[in-house]
Structure 1
Amino acid sequence: MNKIISKERFSEKVFKFEIEAPLIAKSRKAGHFVIVRVGEKGERMPLTIAGSDVKKGTITLVVQEVGLSSTRLCELNEGDYITDVVGPLGQATHIEKFGTVVCAGGGVGVAPMLPIVQALKAAGNRVITVLAGRNKDLIILEKEMRESSDEVIIMTDNGSYGRKGLVTEGVEEVIKREKVDKCFAIGPAIMMKFVCLLTKKYEIPTDVSLNTIMVDGTGMC
């Protein structure tokens, strides 16, 4: 059982949870995820760790209500307990000094991108972050991203904030004006697909997050 220390609403269906998990907080690295279960018969949900505080012994998760299990999790409040939080799982993101790196985050994918941006900056990279969402309300963690990025470009589908357009347009703008050595993308599968198609055209190595298909959490994949 893991206690919810704090809960914050980002938008109508997106919440940030700070959860008591001292061992995970101590050992997690950028790119790791946990599997969360609400209720003894609850579905296993993979969620990427968006941050941790070793002193407080907590990890941060950003959750979007999309189905029954995520809705049950989002209905919990500060002081409630989550049945299971297992991790850290997965392969940590490979971090080194690449040079200039573009990090593209779409929707709630911005949350797991944050620790990667922080780690890339700490490794001495020039980090340009592209945040994208359908509208202004779905742009999250902008302040934290600005603190760890050399530049932040914001794209919204409806033009309600930043520039109107898709995440790929923001990424390509950077590629056309300067040499990009590496790209990371986290967001909906279709968004990551089109970022990869774009960077492939420019022969830029790109990493994406596929933890959403890793429900077993036992290393079978």
Structure 2
Amino acid sequence: MYKIVERKELAPSIFLMEIEAPRVAKSAKPGQFIILRIDEKGERVPLTIADYDEAKGTVTIVIQAIGASTNKLYNLQAGEYLADFVGPLGQPSEFVHEDLETLKKKRIMFVAGGVGAAPVYPQVKWLREKGVNVDVIIGGKTKDHLLYVKEMESIGANVHICTDDGSAGYKGLVTNLLKELIDTGNKFDEVVAIGPMIMMKFVAKLTAEYGIKTIVSLNMLMVDGTGMCGACRVSVGDEVKFTCVDGPEFDGHLVNFDEAMRRQTLYKSEEGRKLIAKEKEEGHTCSCKGGNN
């Protein structure tokens, strides 16, 4: 059993949970995810890690209450327990493996849309601890939907605020703000975008015009989280990848976003879920260990 040591509201229908999970906290790296189950009969819920503290033995996750399981999670309070909390899973962000001196010479821009600010935070934190210059665009519908602004600022990131309605910061799309920053002389060596699929698609489209390397996280496609169900299958360049085992981060200029968005929509429908279940029964070809060939 895994104890919920803290729970708090961040924005409408969005909440944070800090979970006591020492082994996960000890091994976690930026970009990875966990899978939890509320109880023995609960469905598997994959969530990207929003923070981890090895000393405290805790892992932080941020959840948006949009379905049956996440709404059930929403009703849990500090002091209660989760049945399962498995991880870390997936591949860490690639910069974790880069030469530190080379990394320190870079200026990296993160574009965080909505709940995407949560998985962006541990990446920014890791880089700032290593002395890397980091900018972050945090976007939300309104000022009440902005996440992790103070936390990003407290670790020394250069934060740019963007809201759809102009209630805080720049009024408009994150892509327009990113373009404005680039056009006014800001040079970014790399862009990392995490948020709604459509946002990441247009961030990648914009950065391709400027020749800026771009990484995106396709964590919202994950279902089973082990590479067995095939629901997170995505085309990256000429290869078929599985988000949960090969990702969740990929080269944004190579991702087939239209295909990914169709698959995301497919899983939301009853007919689509039946199709994915059929694919799972029949097996699929993937690059993951333990997959059916």
TM-score, normalised to structure 2's length? Answer: 0.72
Q: How many residues matched? A: 221
- Specify the SS of the correspondent of 1:46: strand
Q: Note the residue ranges of structure 2 that are not aligned, 5 or more in a row.
A: 229-241, 243-293
Q: State how far apart, in whole Å, the 1-side matches of 2:225 and 2:34 are.
A: 8
Is the 8 Å Cα contact of residues 108 and 189 (structure 2) preserved in structure 1?
A: yes
CA deviation map 1:27-61 (0-9, x unaligned): 00000100111222222111111111112111101
Is the 8 Å Cα contact of residues 35 and 215 (structure 1) preserved in structure 2?
A: no
**2:226 is matched with which residue?**
218
**Aligned positions of 1:70-81 closer than 5 A:** 70-81=70-81
- Aligned residue type for 1:55: A
**2:196 is matched with which residue?**
188
**1:40 is matched with which residue?**
40
**2:152 is matched with which residue?**
145
Point out the structure with the larger helix share: 2
Report the aligned-residue RMSD.
1.4
Is the 8 Å Cα contact of residues 37 and 43 (structure 2) preserved in structure 1?
A: yes
**1:171 to partner: Cα distance:** 1.4
- Specify the SS of the correspondent of 1:49: strand
TM-score, normalised to structure 1's length? Answer: 0.95
User: Kindly, what percent of the aligned residue pairs are identical?
Assistant: 48
**1:70 to partner: Cα distance:** 0.7
Q: State how far apart, in whole Å, the 1-side matches of 2:63 and 2:160 are.
A: 23
- Specify the SS of the correspondent of 1:105: strand
Is the 8 Å Cα contact of residues 90 and 211 (structure 1) preserved in structure 2?
A: no
**1:29 is matched with which residue?**
29
**1:163 to partner: Cα distance:** 1.5
**1:49 is matched with which residue?**
49
CA deviation map 1:112-139 (0-9, x unaligned): 0001111222333221110000001110
1:102 to 109, 113, 136: 109
Q: State how far apart, in whole Å, the 2-side matches of 1:184 and 1:78 are.
A: 33
**1:58 is matched with which residue?**
58
- Aligned residue type for 2:11: S
**1:131 is matched with which residue?**
138
**Aligned positions of 1:159-170 closer than 5 A:** 159-170=166-177
